[in-house]
Amino acid sequence: MGSILKDKLAYLFKWEILALLLLDCVLLPAALFTAVWLRLGAEWDPKITPHIWLFFCLPLWTIPLFIQLGLYRAIIKFLDDTVVYIVFIGVTVSVLVLTVFIHFSNALAFPRTAIIIYWLFALVYIGGSRFMLRGILRKIGYNAEARPVAIYGAGSAGVQLATSLTHGNEYAPLLFIDDDESKWYKTIRGLKVYPPNELILVTKLYHIEEVLLAIPSAPLSRRREIINQLEENSIYVKTLPGLASIISGEVKFSDIKDVDIEDLLGRLPVPPNNELLTKNIVGKSVLVTGAGGSIGSELSRQIAALNPERLVILDSSEFALYNIEQELRNRFAYVNLVVILGSVTNEKLVSAVLNRYKVNTIYHAAAYKHVPMVEANPLAGLENNGLGTYVVAEAALNAGVDNMVLISTDKAVRPTNVMGASKRLAELILQAFAEKSGHTVFNMVRFGNVLGSSGSVVPLFKRQIRSGGPITVTHPDIIRYFMTIPEAVQLVIQAGNMAIGGEVFVLDMGDPVKIVDLARKMIYLSGLTLKDAENRSGDIEIKFTGLRPGEKLYEELLIGNNPDKTQHERIMKANEKFIAMELLKPKLLLMSDFIRFNEIHAALDLLKELVIEYTPGIE
């Protein structure tokens, strides 16, 4: 008890608390005086004068009540609506005590109705003083450098964000915007709520240059509408981290982040077909080649989450393999994980892995995919992408693997570079194996760019923006299709599981994106301005560097026309010609010799013969 009393006395001696105590000592008698004056008017009853001591004794029992209820523990600047409850209880008990004193002191001349009026005025004086002080402190208490912001979303996330930001000095929340009509023009946590159609008006009125999105449950389409509206009016936008990260404790509500371009380019995923998702994974031994890459690592994550009997990950990059191994062991400790460092061109290694670990399903993601890099090193690309695929496919056939899925690319369609042609060669190899295979189901899945991969323009643009620019775009008219890595991988797994042999599955990539528009959007989302002829004082410039060797203005997903539909709305099946194995194998052996003896021109001539659509350097 002694330590509790000591703690209570300690906080009473802070100047803020003392100031409030003195204020309440004045307001309580003032409330009673106002009540009596309103009741009696100018006709002051002299009989009340002997009992004037009651006016000044009110704080003697009311202040301890407030202390016990915790009224003085609340920091005025961060006061919330619970203070109303505390004041109500405290004042009500104070009135009851006052009534008892009046009764036993025989103050018969004291007007009884004044007690009720006192109750009302005490509530107004004590409670109102708190909210008035809160408003004043919030107006003058912000750091002069704090950015005035509006919060879009007055739901639980937005309210918690506003409360959290008041503890810091970086942002000064001034108002809410919300789609819910029932909240319009009401005040929440001291901030007024405005409708969306007044967004631009109020941001100008309050000189707000930044809006914080706190609408985690809003559909992607609505978020895009809001961001596009803000961009048109040069108002920057930031967003909350994902609620999962907040709940897990990884981040706080105050951890505002830039809106990722992935949030705007990505699509709402279609719910997966669970049968397709699990068919060749649950209870199976699964191998992922190129497991350290962007697609391979996401394949490994999603496969691990589906409870395979064993997950074997293989990559030639020690660093990349180490990273994905550590992540998988931390996130999926229950998975039987096998880590293989090596190349898919090593026949003995691949065969040993398939046989030793009794692999049922292979996802072949190992490939060199950077167009300029492979263009400058064509033999390495042909060996890894083409002959490496042959090695894995032949080993799969000999080991009795159930299913092999090749991860392909839209650059394999009418390729203009070695990388694309080498991936088309990989497709031809799998198609040839599929024709002759009795047990193993060979198939391939073709799709375009994925957001965030090492070869994507998105991370490149982010680096260029961080370094102050310029952003380099090869051509003002170049377009690309984009898909998030998780969506692409989920569709890859489902496509591979619906195969019966030899299919070229093609993913629906959505609408194409103009790369220069992507660059402009990323500059805006970074809170910067475009530097161009119209705005010489801008932050980031866009420079056009010209198409790189082998680069196309646009990519295609189909060689032929009229793809077939499948049981999944975002997966199509292409009908394309291929080369029979008896004709293809001698050419591959010849290609192997050309690579071994560094015969670049001969190898490229043979590549043109095998991939008849390959037209290097032609747009």
Q: Which residues are catalytic?
A: 411
For residue 340, CA distances in Å to 279, 309, 313, 353 come to 25, 17, 6, 8
∠ CA 97-100-105, nearest 5°, is: 125
Structure-token pair, residue 587: 């050419």
∠ CA 365-613-394, nearest 5°, is: 40
Kindly state the helix (H) or strand (E) to which residue 33 belongs, with its residue range.
Answer: helix 15-40
Query: 34: which residues sit within 8 A by CB, 6+ positions away?
Result: 117, 118, 121
At how many degrees (to 10) do helices 581-596 and 600-610 cross?
160
Structure-token pair, residue 548: 């790189």
| Identity of the amino acid at 166 | T
In 189-314, alpha helices (H): 199-205, 220-232, 243-248, 261-265, 274-278, 294-305
Rg value, the chain, Cα: 35
Per-residue H/E/C for 301-312: HHHHHCCECEEE
Answer whether 573's CB lies under 8 Å from 557's CB: no
Structure-token pair, residue 477: 């008219």
Cα–Cα distance for residue pair 24/30, rounded to 1 Å: 9
Cα–Cα distance for residue pair 486/298, rounded to 1 Å: 7
Q: Phi/psi at 359 (nearest 5 deg)?
A: -65, 130
Polymer length of the chain: 619
Per-residue H/E/C for 294-352: HHHHHHHHHHHHCCECEEEEEECCHHHHHHHHHHHHHHCCCCCEEEEECCCCCHHHHHH
Shortest CA distance to 506 belongs to which of 429, 574, 577, 414? 574
∠ CA 314-316-318, nearest 5°, is: 95
Answer whether 558's CB lies under 8 Å from 491's CB: no
Burial of 277 (0-12, 13-18, 19+ CB in 10 A): middle
